[in-house]
Amino acid sequence: MLGGALQLDLPNGTRKTVRLQRIQIEQDSGKSMHDQEPNMTLVDLNRAGIALMEIISHPDIHSSVEAEAFVRKLQYLLRHLGTCDANMEEVSCFFFCCFANFNHNNIFF
């Protein structure tokens, strides 16, 4: 899927639009663990073959308040659509996690 947006209601009463770039479906391929044994790599295949839904937004989030509102709105929608249970606290077949990427080009020290 390409495009779309989420409308966020922020705690200060304003609304914010976060544009969605794309949603893609993948399969978990397992995880390589390099820190368990000094001279070998172990492979964890517990979640191999599990479907993953990756949602990528445009860089429209500019504060931790907006980031929290985005994740909570996404969590609400995913639960009500039935695509996952969206529990960040427990790992299940339908768990929910968030990875943030930061653009450091506009940070001044």
Decide: helix, strand or coil at residue 67: helix
% of the chain residues with pLDDT over 90: 31
- Count helices and strands (H / E) in the chain: 1, 5
pLDDT at 18: 96
Per-residue CA distances from 13 to 6, 9, 17, 43, 101 (Å): 16, 7, 13, 48, 26
Residues 6+ apart with CB under 8 A from 99: none
- Tens-place pLDDT, residues 46-78: 877 877 888 899 989 999 999 999 989 988 898
Q: Can you give the length of the chain in residues?
A: 109
Average pLDDT over residues 75-101: 73
